[in-house]
Structure formats: C-alpha cells, structure tokens
Structure 1
Amino acid sequence: MTAYGAVNSLRNTIDYILHSSHFSLVDPSPNIIQVAYEELNPLQEILERLDSTSKSRSRKKVNALDERIKELIWEFEDILESLVYQQILSQFPADQVDEDDVGGEKIRFTIDLQFLQHHIPSFIERLEEMEEEYIYEVDNMPEDEDDDEVESISTRSGTKSKMIGLSDQFQHLKWSLTATSKQCFFAALVGTAGVGKTALAEAVFEDPEIISHFEHRIWVTVGRKSQFDDVSRDILAQMYGITQGDDELGAYLKERSEGMKCLIVLDDVWEEQILDSLKRCFRNIDNGSFHILVTTRDRNVILAMINPFSIMLVRFLKEDEGKELLCEKVFGEKSCPFQLDKAANKIVKNCEGLPLMIVTVASILSKAHNIDPKYWEDVAELRNSVFTDAYNEISKVLFPSYDYLIQYLKMPFLYMGVFPPDYDIPFSKFMNMLDTEGWFHSIETEQSLEESISEYLEELCNLRNLALSNSRTWNISYAIAFKTCRLHSSWRHVCRGEARKNKFYHVIKKLVQVLEDGVKGQRCLCLENNLLFSIKDFCNSVRLNCASSARSLLFFGPYHQYPIPIGDDFKLLGKLDALNLRLYTFPAEILTLVLLKYLALTCNGELPTTISKLFNLRVLIIHPHNNISICGSPSYVPVQIWDMRELEHIEILGKSLVAPCHSVSLEKLSTLVGVNADICNILELSKKVPFVRKLGVQIELTPYDDHNDLLSCFGCVSTLKSLEILKYSIINPVVNYDYVFRSSLMMLPHALQKLHLSGMGLSWKYMSVIGSLPNLEVLKLRAYAFRGSKWEEGSFLRLLFLLIEDSDLVQWKPTSGSFPYLVRLSMKHCYKLEEIHWSSRSGRGTIELVNCNPIALTCVRQLQPTQPTLFDVTASSSFDEKPTTIKFTRYWSGFE
C-alpha cells in the first residue's frame, strides 16, 4: 500500500538528478534515467485506479502486488542513489572552504550513470509485467470475505442496554428528529470507527419518545457489502412485510405512506450512492413524513446530500463518562472497588475517550477475573499485554478506514504514526518532514506544498475522521489553518503496524523489538529510547540489516543530556532528527551524509565551515542545549551557509547570522527563524532572503545604539513582499527610556498576516501603522513591546487574535469600527489593566485574563456591546493562596 509514495519518491529523485545545478551528467546518463522516469507516469495512473473501486471488494491480492511494486522501485532507487552518493563523495574537495570563496560558483559534480544501462531494461520489463497484473487484479477483485467478521464487532447489538455518556448529543439528536416538520429529513452521525455512532443511534432508536412519535422504525445495517437493492428490500421487509421481489421502493412508499411517520436508520454507510438512490425514492412523496438517520465514518459520503447543520460529529467520552462505562462493563451494577479506583482512572485515560477501546479493555479485564490492585496497576502503566491485545482486537474494525483511503492520503496518514504518544505535531514540522520524504510530485500543479498538506489534514481530520486536530485557527475567509494535529493511540497502533510490515518505518523502544521483529530493509528507524544507539548489539543489527537502506533516522525518545554516537553507516540518509540528543560538538561524520535534506540537532558547539558540504539540505534546525551566551564571545553561523542554495527552512537558535558581502542569496528560503542579528545587519540580511515568508529575528539592543534604528529595521523588513509572519524580539529589553522616534521609519510589508513583537518599548501611537495592515490576522505583543497607559488607536479590520502580555497598559479603548472580526482577546500579566472595550461584530468571542488586575474582570462583566455577541470569559490568577479560574459565558442581545 506504499507503492504510490515510492513512485513519487523515485520520480523526485530522478527529477532532482536531471535538473540540479550541482550535477553535470555525462552522456548518455540523462537519457538512461529519463527512460525510467517516463515509465513511472503511467504506473502512477494505474495505481490510482484502485481509488474508484467499490469498498465491498477485497484488496488482499492487490495489496500484496502493491508491496512487490514498491520493493522493485525501492531496489532501483537504492542503486541509483548509491551510485550518485559514491561519485559525489569521491569528488568532494578535502580542504575546507574559505570565507573568500562564499558566493562563488556552485560546487558541481560529474555524474556518470552508464552503470545503470544493465539495470534499466530489466527494471522496465518487470514493472510493465506488474502493471498488467495490477490492472487485472483491480478489475477482478472478489467480494471481501472478512467483512462479516469485522462488522460483527461494531454493529448494533439488538438488545436494549444502558447508554453511558453522550447525554448532550443524545438529547440534541432526539430533539432534531422529533421537532422538524419536514416530510423528508436527513440527519447524520459521523466520527471515527468505535466512537459510539451506532450506540448513540440505537439509544435514540429505542427511546420511548421516539417509539411513540414514529409509526414505523426501521434499522438497516448497510456496511461495505450492501448495494441499494439490499437496502431497499430490507426497508420493504420491515415496513410492509414484503420478503420477496425486486419491486421499487419509491413506488411502494408513494402508494402506502399517506399520513405515515417513519424513522429509518442506515447504520455504517460507506458509499454515497446508497443515499443518493434512497433520496430519489422520496422525491415524489408528499403525503408522509420520513426521517432518515445515517451513521458513517466518512463525512464525504453525506456532504452532498445532507445539510451541514444536520450533521453531528460524535465526540469522544469525557474521563468521568469513560470510567462509568469501564466499571459498568467490568463490575456491572456494583461500584468500582476502592483499591482499584486510581488504576481505573489511568486505564480510562489511556483509552483516550474511545468507547470501543474502553469496552474492549473492559472485556479483557472481565475475562481475567483478576481484581488484584497490582495487576490493574500493571495494566494502567502498560506493563502487560492488555492494551496491546485490545489494540490488536479493535484494529479489525479500524483497518478498513485505512485500507480504503485514496492513494495520496495513505503515506501522510501512516507517517503521523511515527511521532511519539501524546505529541501534538506542529504543522510546520509535519510539512517539512513530509516534503523531505519526497512523496509529493507537484511539478504539474500550481498548488503550494503548504496548501497540499493543509488539504490532506482537512481530509484526514475533518472529513475522514482518522486524525485529530488539536489546535487550529480560522483565517478571515474561514478557511482552516492547522497548527497541530495528532493520532489517537488506537490509530497510532494501526499505522505503526502497517508501516513496520511495509518497511516504511519501525518505531523501536526496546532492544527485544530489534531481535524479535528485525529491522531488515526498513527505510526509517524511529527510536523512542535514544540510549539504544549506545548498545553494541543494536548497532550491529542496524549496521548489518538496514543502514544501507535507511533514509530517515529519528530520535524521538525523551531528551537525553549526554551525547550518543550516531555513526556514518547511513550512507543514503535523507533525514536526521536528533533534537532530543545533546551533542557537545557538531558530529564530523554527518558531513559525509551528502544526501541529507533534513537535519535537526541540539548542539552548543560551533557549526563547522564545511557545513556547505551538505549542499542538498532543505531544512536546517540547530537548537542550543541551554540558552547561555558568554559576554563578548558571540557565536556565529558560518558564512558558508549562504552557499547552501537548496535551503528552504533555517531555524538556528542562539547564534548570530551575518550576511556576506557577495551578491549571493537564498532564493528558495521561505523560513528564517531564531537567528540573532544586530540592527545594522538587518538590512543586508533582508536582501539575501528575498522570498522569505516567515522571519524570526532576535536583536540584542545596547544603551549605545541609536534607537531610531530600531524602527528603521522595519523599513528593511518592508521590502520583503512575500513576508507573511514576522517575529521580532529584543533580547534583554530596557523599557524605561524615553526616546523620540521618527514615525516615518515605521513600515511593514502589506502581505503580513501574523506579527509577534517583544521588548521594543515603543509608544502606542505607532499602532496606527500596524492597524492599517490589510491582511493582519494575528498580533502578539510581549515584554513591553509597546509602552504607555492608554491604547486608543484603531482599525485592524481583519484581526482575529490579539495577545498582550507583560504590559503597563491601563486602558484599551479602540476607536469605533475597529477590530470588527476579533474573536479572541488574551491579556496576560497586565497588572495595571482596568478598562477593556470590546467592539467586535464577529458574533462570538473569547476573552482571557491571566494574572491581571481584578478591576479588568469587573469591567468585562459590565460590557454592553451593540452587536449580538456570545462571549466566553476566562479569568485566572496564580497569586492567590488557592489559584482559581473563573469561567462564564454571557450573551448580549444588543437590546438590553
């Protein structure tokens, strides 16, 4: 199931070799690999044919063939990259590059690929044979024989049982079904597998009010196998007792439905054609009332046919609801024994609110007949196999959602499983890591990588309900902007199992996993125990079995403060993430990994001047172990970094970056964050990164600096026409000065969407410049970014989020008509704050007060907006003996 990603990876590898300015290909090398490249285009189209097949068909044979295709492509890619690697290494100059050479001609390597002439014909012949076989298997897929077994775990029990949790959604759904007067009303319950859609639908179906309201109640379990003829016959059998014949459902309903009130539940719908056909049956009925409730995992199935306001996302259980469900399944009507209470809480927390997981764990606990507190504690701390057994059991229910994913979503979804448990994956990190894997081939599309990844996450989180969007924001056009996402633990288990089986990646926490499972041929090793590389047996096994094939090495275990040798055996490594390892000096062996595209290290030592040997790097992230600087001894980023023209993302914290005198620039760079710079260097720096979209700069201001230069920095930044995010921080700010600034120097680029300022100590009057930015949506002001008791300037016509932290502000009173779309106002550590005026017309907002003057909360309570507005207000203080948090929601109609 990873052949599609493998095809894109090889296409990108060949494309880079053909067009890289670093390579001079010896004839006939271009023609040799161009032949292979052209063979991959039809293969990708053939693989995409699987997406249009019925979900009732078994994919076992197709998946096995997919695995063979992937292995063939990987084998060829290994030969190709090994050949390029050897030739690059043999031609690299041994001497260090002098600073005077920066900005000169790019280092070029002569690449001769004639060795591949012996491999290309065989490769293409085998690929064409597999293509023909793939087409045949896709066209002749049998019905899935395992479908009944899988559905039996999750479908309706048929017996009336106590419903636990989701009482709010139960009441809302019941009201929706009984309150509407429409003759034909469709509603839907959506959510991930095992979240309780069927249980919630069944509870409503069996509710006395529903029974008395509807003359007929019909329950049809649709599943993946059912065609509409099956659904139609099932409805007719339950409604009219008709057990034979293929009579049209619509005709029967038109003739016999006069005055009838009927509830039809279609459980576990996978194909939108089912609903489309059913809707046609009700098209000409005008004398009855039919309410149809649909449950489905995939929102795509219902989007075109059901009003979005009639779609309910079934939520996960809260911890108290989960505990009640666990105890009811294990102890029945008896309460949980006191000595097991603490462990029960941990067990429920580990289930992360998924009812199917809770019920499955409860079933295993019940069968064990073991109420020993030690046993329950071992379960809670994951020290035995209970959770693993439960994950394996519910994987039968979850797996079809992955198996029937469209091709281009499978690899990104699988990759989400590589990240540690309880880790919120930042969007930028996810995007950069996916980009350097090479699974995307976007030459023929105008869509940016960021737009593509956003669409993938939208599909996985909000439409397919496979991933969780922990943190997201809305821009002014109400498009979703993802900040973080993650997987539920049950889905992480599925992803990791599939990835290991397909040699996509192997997540390792214990040495026994290597000895038992093996790591042979794995393309990625992810360590959740960073100490493994200090064990000789582990290193020997890795060196023997997968060092030659691995493209990624990820140290995702807990942060380790002592260096661990990484080694130089991973010749073809493209990604190395060792942020969770402390390295005292930059490892020299990394400089031999010339195919690296992504490098992330924690290192306090200086970066070597030979860093430019890593000319393939797209992402360079260097963090310090501790943010400690020695007075008078600044640490600099080597000027040779400007020769690394492929760089797209630079994140180097605690080091100063100096722009070279030469006319060299990093035109592919879109993100430059964390670097230190002085005021004089900002102008030159901005010239060297003309297309940067995200810029984060720290400046250490001294009392001897001309503070008007502080504003002139903005003039330099204003030349960056593509800049969307600016983070500008003054290190060790001094806020008690009273300088006169020239307001003409205050300029910012109009494309700016997010602005973070810290420690500048400017007057609030300069806010008029910021407020006029036409695209600004997020503004964060920290550490006396602005100074003074009163802020009255206005506009900010597109701002959604405003944060003011550590400020001497007393009164915030923007002019009329300002901040019309503000939805969140956060004030933190504003000890003098007394007055807040809210003028948002957004309809809903959140005000957060953290460690602020209590008078400010009183002011918020007395607010009387002129527009209908619903506010959630949170006020908290950590200075009371017992820290408290006050939460309340208030609605102002505007007519009070």
Structure 2
Amino acid sequence: MSVAAIGLIVQNLKHLIEYNADLIFGVKDQVASLYDDLQLLNAALKDFTNKPSNYEIAIVWVRLIRDVGFEMEDAIDKYVVLAALHKAKSRSRKAFRTIYKYPAELREAGIAIQNVRSKLNGYQKKMFTNEVLQLIYRTTEVMQVGEFSTSSSPVEVVGFDMEVKMLVDRLTGASNDLEVISVVGMGGTGKTALATKVLNDPSISPVFNPCALIKVSQKYDRKKLFLGILSLVTRLTEEMDRMSEDMLAKDLQRRLQDRRYLIVLDDVWSKKAWDELIIAFPRNKNRSRIMLTSRITNVAIYANGDSPPHHLRFLNDDECWELLRRKVFGSAGCPSEEMEDLGKKIAEKCHGLPLAVQVISESLSNDKNPGWWKTVAANVSRYVAKEPERCMNILALSYNKLTPHLKDCFIYFAVFPPDSIIPTWKLRLLWVAEGFMQELEQECLVDKADECLDDLVNANLIIVAKRKSINGGIKACRIQNTLRDFCLSVAAGEIFFRELRQNEQIPQPNYYRRLSMCSNVFNFISSQLSVTNVHSFFCFGIEQWVLPQENTSFIFKAFKLPMKKLCALQERESPLEVTSHFFEAFQLLRVLYMSISFTRFPSDMTNLVHLKLTALFGNIGVVPASISRLRNLQTLIVETTAQILDVHENIWELTQLTDVRTNRPCHFHEPPAKALKKNQLARKGLQTLSLLLPDSCTEHILTRALDVKKLGICGKLVALVEENGGCSMFDNLTKLPHLETLKLLNDKLLCPSGNAILQCFPQMDKFPPNLIKLTLSNTSLDWKHMTTLGKLPNLEVLKLRDNAFVGELWKVCDGGFRRLRILQLEKTNLEFWEAFDHHFPSLQRLILKQCKFLQEIPSALGDISALQLLELHDTSSSAADILGECCPNQDGIPSRRLQNKKQACHFF
C-alpha cells in the first residue's frame, strides 16, 4: 500500500500544478522538478514490488520514498496555504507575484521545499547507483503446491445444516450431465469445512468414485494434483511421473470417462486456474459433479454461468457460541453461568466468522478461568490478531491479491464505525476527494469508483447491504467487523490512518494522514496533539454537540492546546489570531466530516485552501460568500435543521465543484450581473444538485449546471409549474441534456396542505429529454396526468410517494410506459386500478407501500413476461388476496414464467 501512497502523492502534485498554478508561482520550477523525480521513482518502485524475491528490501525503499514524499507534499501544501493568505491580503497581483516581496513565512516554506528536493535526489542517486536494482531483480521463486485429499476426519460445522443438505441434494440430483456447483465467500467463513462436511455425508461416498477434495490455493502444482487423482483410479507408474501436465490431464480424462466422479476444487483464485484444471475432467453422462469453492465470485460465475453460486453466510451469535462451546468444552456443557455469559460475549465479538471463533477458542481452551475469559472478552480482536498464521494471514491473502489503488479503497472502509451501512454515493465522493480515482479524466471518476467497489464485492471483501432498483447496482455496503480489524492493523502499519478511541493519545510526532474517531471530538480537547499534517478528519460522535459560532474557531485549535487555555484564547485573542490557530491545527485538510452540530456555517473553515469535501451538520441557514475561498472544493454536504439553506452567489466561482447535497431546499443566488453580461461562470462539471427551491430553477442558475445528472427540487412546486406569459420555470429543465434523475418534492414545511395540490402539470416536451428516473412526492396530482408521464420516451423508474397522485380511479391509457421497468406506488388513496399487461410491457418490479384503499391489483399484470418482483408493504388485504392471480400457479401459464413468479413474489 506504500506504493499506492507514493502514486497518490504524484497525482496530488499533478492536481496542484493544474489547478493551483497561481499559488505556486514562486516555486513552480521546483514543484515541477519534484513531480518528475517522484514520478520516475514511483514507476521504478511499482516494478520492484512486483518481484517475488527480496520483497522486504523493496518495501524498505518504498517506505523511505513514501516518507520523503509526505514531507515534500506537506512542504508544498503549506506553501500554498501561505500563498493563498498572502494573495487574499495583497492589493495588487503584481505584489503577489513578486517573490522577493513575500513574507518571511513564504520564503521559509520555499527553502523547506528545496531541502526536501535535495533529500529526494539523494535517495534517487542511491537507488540507481548502489546496485539496489540488481539486488531487487534477483528472483528465485518458490512454488507453493496444492494439496490433495480423499477423506478427512470429521470437521466441526455449526449452523450450516441447511447448506449441507442443499449441496448434497444438488450433488446427487437426477441430471446426467456434468454439473458444476459453486460456493463463494470471504476467507474464514468455512467454505473448506463445509465442502469436507459434504464429502463426509453418508449419501455421497457410496455413489461417487473417485470422490476427492483438491486444495488449489493461489499457487498450485497441476502435475501433483493430477497424479493424486490418478492414484485413486489406477496404480501410478514411473512413466506417469515423467509425463507432462497436459499428457496427465488427457490420461486422467480417459480414465474418468466411464466413472461417476465428484471432485471438489477448493480455494480457486482465478479463471486461469479453473481453465488449467477443468481440462482433466470429462463431460460424461454419468451424473458426475465438480464442486468449486472460491473467494472470487466472478470465478464461480465463469465456471458455471447457468447456476448462480451459493454465497456462504456468516454465523449468527447463537451459532458462534455453539461452535465456541464445542471447540472449548467438546461434548461437555459449560461449567458455570458466568463462563457461559462471558463465552457468549466473546462469540458475539467474533462477528459471525468461524475462523475467528476457531482461533479464539484455542486461547480459551488453554485457560478456562473466568478472569482470563474476562480479559479476552474485553479485546477479542487483539487476541485473534495474536495468531497471524491462523487468522490475519488468511484474510491477508485476499488483500494482497488486490491492486495498489484497490488496497487503498478497501482499507478506507475502516474509517467508518463498526457495523456502518455506508451509502455508495458517499463512499464514491470520499474516494474521489482522497485522490484514489485520479487516474482517469474527471467525467470517468464516478464510474471508476463503481468499478472499484464491484471488484471488492467480487472478492467477497465487502458486503452489499442494498441494491439500486434501477439497475441492480450497489446502493449501500458494509465491511465485516473482523475484516475491519484487519484493515485497522494494516492502516496503522502504513500510517494510512489512525482510529482514535476514547482516552487514547496519538503517538507524537503524528505521521498519520487521516484521523477517525467514534467518540466525540471534545473528548480529545485536553490532549496536546499535533495534527498539522492530517489530510482527512472524521468524527462520528455518538453524542451530538451543539457548538455556538463563537467556539467554532477552537475546534481544531483544541488539538493543539490544553483545555485550560481555551477560555484564555476566547477572552484574549483577536479573530485573526484565532484563525491562525485554526490553520495551525488543520491547515492541510482535504476531507472534513464532523457530526458536531454547528449553529451556523463555520466561516473559519473557508481558509482551508486544500479542502475537497466537507460534510457539516446543525442549524446552518447560510452558506456565506467566503465559500469561494475553497478553490479545490468538490463536494459540499450539509444536513441542517433550518427550513431553507441560503447559498451565496460566490459558490459559482468553485470550478471543481461536482456535488452539492443538502437535506433541506437551497435558495441559490444568481451570479452577479457583470458575470452574466460577460457570460462568465458558465461552467460544467456539476453532477448532483439536491435540493433546490423552485424559485432557484432560473435559466441563469441552471445554465451553470449544464452537466448535472441528478437534480432534486423541493419546496412549493406550484411556483415551478405555474405558467407566466405562456412559460414556466419548469421549462428551464429542458436545458439540462444530461439530466437522468429528477425528484419533485412538495415540501410539507413550506407548503400547507391546501397549497400542495398541483392543478396543472408540464407537458411531455417540457421534461428533460433524457430523463430515466422520476420521483414525485406530496404533489396531489390527478391521475389523468399519468398520461403525460407515460409518454416520456426514456423513463425507466417511476416512484410516486406520499399522495403524489390522488383519486379513487387510475385507468391506464394505451401507448405509454414503453420502457418503464420499476413502478412504486406509496401512500395513496387509490381504490381502483385498471390496467393490462400491454400497458407496462417492460415492467420488472412493482412495489406497493401503504396502499390501504386499493381493492385489487390488476390480474392482467401477471401476464407481463418481464415481471420479476412484486412487493407489498402494509397494503390492503384484498389487494394481497389478488396476488395469486398476479403470480399464478394456474394451468396455461408457461412454466418458465411460472417459475420466475414463484421466486419473485415477496410478502412483507
């Protein structure tokens, strides 16, 4: 991961040269030279670390270069901060650009950059002249061969009785063809134990011959594995031992042709491994089976795309305790209630991972004393980590297989508190702000982040918590807690980030680039900590502190000063001095995510020149003009208790801004008249804008968001759709050619119930041309306006919430909703719904929530061949009764469709 850190520094330097050239005017040549040198070293080090031998030597050099890279990055970043301050104070651009007129601080910062450059050049000379390259490039690779077994002693498997039965049934099924059955899951979930349990089932060995488990692993010896299987069907000869791998594969295939065999290929890591092994197994008609286990989902799908792999679940707390009890006490019971309570607490902290249970059970077996068990219960993860060969190294196999930038993305999950459900959009924006996705052009960053998340899910390192309705993509995710502990360990070793726990002191000096805490920030005020080189700060406080404006300047200074000095600072120091303390603590911050509740927007924060993402909470009513100082800001997230968030016009000066997300509607001011006259600030790059007041949907504002893909409008929607002189502000949405997702929300706080009804609705040609997803809420429209929505040519998802449409009858008209795949009706007084299958030819999902008055679901919807899922949530019993017609088991229904419906219908 250190190599990735160097690559990240290179990318940050590139970004600095591109977007902040005016702030490095005095040291531009030095920065450009440093960029070139570090880029060369980064390329060389990537190559070094890919060599299997002398890896430890390469890592030493990587960390040396990483550390000097950090020092270099901090020196340049501090220079930029000082230059930004000086520029803000300078009255003339000429004064700013005259290096000999810079303050002493700037000159000192420039000298620091030169010193770092000299140090880097020294390392560069040593690397390329002192035979380091020759030493690193000497390679002596040792092959780790696979293991072979035909039987096993009974294994302890708890909680997987249903899985064993299911797999045995599939293995002994009636199909004559060779079938491949796959089991996937993260390391340590018990895939090998499950496969062994299946092989030992009494119904397996009598019908399969040979019956064997092959431990493949990341590196394997095909010849040894083939010879092992051959030994089960014939006597091995010296001639066989001289055969090549391909010859042995052909011989094995010939000898298995007339047999009914069962081979378990355990722990397969790649498609290449599958291809190299499967050639030895004939596709005969003898009901033979191959069972595959893997950590990589795509490998299982590649082996058999017609049958989805079985994803092995985690154990629940009761199953963890039962497994722990058997490992520690065997058939005997737990000796005391106290020991049982302690054992259950320990089992719960194994987080459902059988491997963790197995490792911790050995520590408990050696000392069955309540005092020792209390010690273990207080820090289970510590004692699991004490057996690296048994647990952490097994988990590390998956981690080590990742590319450098994927390692960063994976480790980053540990920034969040345990058991966090993380929205994908938030994770994406954080990854981009951290620079993990800077390898591609700006418009590709989001797609690249999605690909990285898919890769981590495919490796069974990250768990999908929720999927998107529109395309099945990942909407929310989480990390298993034992893996999170592993990430914390790696992150600390790589000084990637540090999680601060209650009453914990940061080692001084602090080299960590990121700090995360789950306790409130004020728990650390009394600590004299140095955090001047921290780039990302997260506070997921359990308590929500309300912080008055007069104290916001002391948040970050608190990490630098003891508590007893805070009052003195507040009483004696001027606002300028307070601001300097703010810089002194967190002047290089790029990511700021704090759950502290602010009473207003913290103005001092706008002095953080490098800030790329900030998430703020509290009673924030105004985003001030000083927001324009955050020249590198990409994402602004505000969750406020105020009814409306007033956003100053200067926000349009932020040329890198891509996402503005708020929980309350924003009033955006138009750019100044001079800028409008000169057509300035007509910018691109803004991807998400949510939420806007209808009054802010003017032509001048929306033309500043030409690239926006997601737009949320919230407030009194009458102001948006009412026509004035033959046109309405809604017409301005047609100027957004890239808009795909639109939310129209009548806000209950701003719209009394009598004013929420929309009497009119825009015609089809007034909607954005490429709209795919539309959500309406609290609009109280008449059902006749659904005809307009049905004509939208690209509409695929329609969500109608909270009385979006009202009326007893909805009679669907012909010719509409040709591409609609998902329809959601939520909280409506609809009683009668008349529709036929041709009205929704592409419908795949129908979700009904709180449709308490609906008499029945149109039975003809059961004839829609594309329909896969029907969900009912708190809907009338009469509508539920008609479900049998929508998911029929009647005669005359094609079997394929009937099977899909039986699998798709869910009751809630």
Normalised to the residue count of structure 1, the TM-score between the two structures is 0.83
Match of 1:312 in 2: 310
Aligned CA distance change for structure 1 residues 576 and 18 (closer, same or farther; 3 Å): closer
CA 118–740 in structure 1, closer or farther in 2 if over 3 Å, else same: closer
Contact 1:620 1:651 in 2 (8 A): yes
Contact 2:438 2:445 in 1 (8 A): no
Per-residue deviation at 1:388? 2.9
Please tell me whether residue 762 in structure 1 is matched to residue 797 in structure 2: no
Q: 1:670 aligns with which of 687, 690, 694?
A: 687
Q: CA offset at residue 706 of structure 1?
A: 8.1
The answer to whether residue 556 in structure 2 is matched with residue 566 in structure 1 is yes
State whether residues 217 and 262 of structure 1, in contact with CA within 8 Å, keep that contact through their aligned partners in structure 2: yes
SS of corresponding position for 2:516: strand
Q: 1:354 to 1:70 in 2, by over 3 A?
A: same
Structure 2 match to 1:520:
510
In the superposition, relative to structure 1, how do residues 813 and 134 fare at CA in structure 2: closer, same or farther (>3 Å)? farther
Match of 1:439 among 418, 436, 440: 436
Change in Cα spacing, 1:533 to 1:322, as seen in structure 2 (3 Å) is closer
> Residues 466 and 475 of structure 2 are in contact (CA less than 8 Å); yes or no, is this contact kept in structure 1?
yes
1:262 aligns with 2:261: yes
- 1:836 aligned counterpart, secondary structure: coil
The answer on whether the counterparts of 2:462 and 2:480 sit within 8 Å (CA) in structure 1 is yes
Code of the aligned partner of 2:465: N
Q: Are 2:237 and 1:217 equivalent residues in the alignment?
A: no
Contact 2:517 2:541 in 1 (8 A): yes
AA in 2 matched with 1:748:
F
User: What are the equivalent positions in structure 2 for 1:620-639 lying under 5 Å apart?
Assistant: 620-624=636-640, 626-627=641-642, 629=643, 636-639=646-649
Give the SS at the match of 1:188: strand
Alignment of 1:293-312 (within 5 A): 293-301=291-299, 304-307=302-305, 309=307, 311-312=309-310
Shift of 1:359: 3.1
SS at the partner of 2:415?
A: coil
Does structure 1 residue 76 correspond to structure 2 residue 72? yes
Is 1:814 the counterpart of 2:825? The answer is no
In 2: Cα distance, 1:344 partner to 1:874 partner: 40
1:207 correspondence with 2:197: no
Partner residue, 1:894: none
CA distance in 2 between counterparts of 1:310 and 1:135 reads 47
Determine the C-alpha separation between the residues in 2 that align with 1:734 and 1:404. 57
Alpha carbons 2:649, 2:672 under 8 Å: kept: no
Q: Is the 8 A contact 1:845 1:871 kept in 2?
A: no
Deviation at 1:4, TM superposition (A): 1.9
* Alignment equivalent of 1:86, drawn from 71, 82, 91: 82
In structure 2, how many angstroms separate the alpha carbons of the residues matched to 1:749 and 1:705? 14
Letter in 2 for 1:396: N
Secondary structure of the 2:637 match is strand
**8 A Cα contact 1:22 1:107, kept in partner:** no
Would the aligned equivalents of 1:725 and 1:754 in 2 still touch at CA under 8 Å? Answer: yes
**Does residue 1:6 correspond to 2:2, yes or no?**
no
The SS at the match of 1:817 is: helix
Structure of greater relative contact order (alpha carbons < 8 Å, 6+ residues apart): 1
Question: 1:157: how far off?
Answer: 9.9
Asked if 2 retains the 8 angstrom alpha-carbon contact of 1:24 and 1:111, the reply is no
User: Does residue 859 of the first structure (1) align with residue 882 of the second (2)?
Assistant: yes
Which residue is equivalent to 1:642? 652
SS of 1:621's partner is strand
Amino acid at match of 1:235: I
Task: Confirm or deny: 8 A CA contact 1:712 1:745 kept in the other structure.
Answer: no
Alignment of 1:820-839 (within 5 A): 820-837=841-858, 838-839=861-862
| Greater CA drift, 503-512 or 9-18 | 9-18
Instruction: Tell me how far 1:322 sits from its aligned partner.
Output: 3.8
Contact 1:46 1:131 in 2 (8 A): no
Cα 1:863–1:22 shift into 2, 3 Å:
same
User: Corresponding residue for 1:193?
Assistant: 187
Matches within 5 A, 1:22-171: 23=22, 26=25, 29-49=27-47, 59-93=55-89, 110=97, 116=113, 119-120=116-117, 122-124=119-121, 126-127=123-124, 129-130=126-127, 139-140=137-138, 158-161=152-155, 163-171=157-165
CA–CA distance in structure 2, aligned partners of residues 52 and 734 of structure 1: 65
Aligned mate of 2:817, from 772, 796, 802? 796
Distance 1:199 1:770 in 2: 54
**CA-to-partner distance for each residue in 1:348-385, whole Å, 9 max, x for gaps?**
5543332222333444444442469xx97x68xx9612
Matched residue, 1:690:
706
- Whichever structure has more helix as a proportion of its residues is 2
Q: CA deviation at 1:40?
A: 4.7
Q: CA deviation at 1:637?
A: 1.7
Deviation at 1:327, TM superposition (A): 3.7
Give 2:169's aligned residue.
Answer: 175
Q: Note the alpha carbon deviations across 1:233-264, whole angstroms, 9 max, x for none.
A: 43344544538634342354256446333333
CA distance in 2 between counterparts of 1:556 and 1:344 reads 30
Q: 1:273 to 1:782 in 2, by over 3 A?
A: closer
What is the match of residue 407 of structure 1?
Answer: 404
Identify the residue that residue 102 of structure 2 maps to in structure 1: none
Residue 645 of structure 1 aligns to a residue in which SS? coil
State how far apart, in whole Å, the 2-side matches of 1:582 and 1:401 are. 39
Moved more, 589-598 or 243-252: 243-252
- Higher mean displacement: 593-602 or 654-663: 654-663
Q: What are the within-5 Å matches in structure 2 for residues 143-542 of structure 1?
A: 158-161=152-155, 163-179=157-173, 185-240=179-234, 242=236, 245-248=241-244, 249-250=248-249, 252-253=251-252, 256-257=255-256, 259-270=258-269, 272-282=271-281, 291-301=289-299, 304-307=302-305, 309=307, 311-334=309-332, 348-370=347-369, 384-393=378-387, 394-443=391-440, 448-462=444-458, 464-473=459-468, 475=470, 480-514=472-506, 520-532=510-522, 534-537=524-527, 540-541=528-529
Instruction: Give the secondary-structure state (helix, strand or coil) at the position aligned to 1:769.
Output: helix
**Pair 770,412 (structure 1): closer, same or farther in 2 beyond 3 Å:** same
- 1:613 equivalent in structure 2: 629
Q: Does the 8 Å contact 1:4/1:408 carry over to 2?
A: yes
Shift of 1:549: 1.4
* CA separation of 1:287 and 1:691: change in aligned 2, threshold 3 A: closer
CA contact (8 A) 2:421 2:476 kept: yes
Larger mean CA deviation between 715-724 and 191-200 belongs to 715-724
Inter-CA distance 775–35: structure 2 relative to 1 (3 Å threshold): farther
SS in 1 for 2:468: strand
Distance 1:93 1:793, change over 3 A: farther
Say which is worse superposed, 256-265 or 683-692, in terms of deviation.
Answer: 256-265
The match for 2:565 is: none
The one-letter amino acid of 1:854's match is: S
Q: TM-score, normalised by structure 2?
A: 0.82
In the aligned structure 2, how far is the partner of 1:288 from the partner of 1:190?
Answer: 26
Which of 578, 589, 611 is the aligned partner of 1:596? 611
- Structure 1 residues 681 and 167, CA gap change in structure 2 (3 angstroms): same
Alignment check: 8 A CA contact 1:754 1:777 kept = yes
The root-mean-square deviation of aligned C-alpha atoms, in Å, is 3.9
Distance 1:42 1:282, change over 3 A: farther
Q: Distance in 2 between matches of 1:60 and 1:344?
A: 40
Tell me the matched-pair count. 833
Q: CA deviation at 1:493?
A: 0.5
- Report the Cα distance in structure 1 between the residues aligned to 2:132 and 2:827, rounded to whole angstroms: 63
Change (3 A) 1:167 1:577: same
Deviation at 1:682, TM superposition (A): 4.1
The answer to whether the 8 A contact 1:436-1:574 is kept is no
> How many angstroms apart in 1 are the aligned matches of 2:873 and 2:298?
41
Q: Which moved more, 1:832-841 or 1:78-87?
A: 832-841
Worse-matched range after superposition: 80-89 or 574-583: 574-583
Residue 492 of structure 1: how far off its partner (Å):
0.4
Counterpart selection for 1:870 from 901, 905, 908? 901
Aligned to 2:105: none
> Which ranges of structure 1 fall in alignment gaps of 5 or more residues?
96-104, 876-885, 888-896
User: For 2:365 and 2:766, how far apart are their aligned partners in 1?
Assistant: 68
Gaps of 5+ in 2: 100-108, 558-581
